[in-house]
Structure 1
């Protein structure tokens, strides 16, 4: 009985091995020369840009116009200029006309007084009143000197022109202007190279 069992079991095992061998052979014959590994190619998709028109926007006409107003259609040329650094070189500053400002007064007359601002080195000036020469040549020294003027209503322009620069450039002087009561209404200095002018305006109210 036991031998019959093992004999039956052996037959089933042999039959299974035979079926497996036949299946493998058939599969190799079926797919052996035809099976290939295929790599998927990348999908390229063209992106189309569509212009947005009024009819494509699901908003009111008023809102659409408001949206368009935020779009800059034409950008003009950039004409911005970087501000130049203020000149600080005393020699270059002297080679230009100097504005000494505007002073207002109700006085009928004025006394203009000036002297050399540094040590006396031979500075000479020419003085104009309303473009007319009133002092053709003044040698500046350590003592105060000057002239009196009758003020006209409105603008009274006084120019000091440097005839030379003395022994030490530039032409330097300090000046004061007094009203008819002896009060100082302007006090300043000029530092100008030869040929340039320092100007102050006395405006009579």
Structure 2
């Protein structure tokens, strides 16, 4: 699923020229989708194959203002070597939610087999929920493990280079840039919308890095739910009832501890999904999570 966006991690351009690809039962791919208007959007794809049936998820506009995770369903025909998949529903999005704003990718192309060492490339069509066309384009994906291997080689070349000064060497890391793309950052004044059919939700809150005295407040629908909590290595579990069509959860940074910014690892868990997020807030800044009941959307 995508909305048009100018965001695109430049580092992918370098790595996508590597033709190598790694395959495994559950495969992860990273790359871009190119829209017909020539704009690029970062794209991550997880594929699981079980007796020719495809499941998994996609993440579009990684780290951007419109980052969206969608469910994937499809099939692989081993006789014709055709792979087809489509995005069928949103798990979460950082876009403003409107049913007809979202364009779902439908892809079909030749693929030797799910365990082959082939790239995923080809044209896709984009469809709204009502089946009408939105925007089409092309997919260009490489296996994530091979991209990471390529990144490590580039980092080694940079560290060995006599043309790069030590200050630059200490600041530049392609592999760290890739790792940052895996993190779901909750930015100040940003809202993440999650879709859920559950009657309740769990938040697991802890410090995944160095404990430095960060404190937060948690609000649910405008009322204080957790006050002046010091985030540490111990997991603080909150159970939040989802009794209304929409539930607003807000995280407020009370301070920045001894190391700025205020960071808290927050796992959002319902009966089907587990979304790992990380807040990065200055004192007084707030980020929010909106839970929308699927049967009301």
| TM-score relative to the length of structure 2 | 0.35
* Greater share of residues in helix: 1
Larger of the two Rg values belongs to structure: 1
| TM-score relative to the length of structure 1 | 0.50
* Greater share of residues in strand: 2
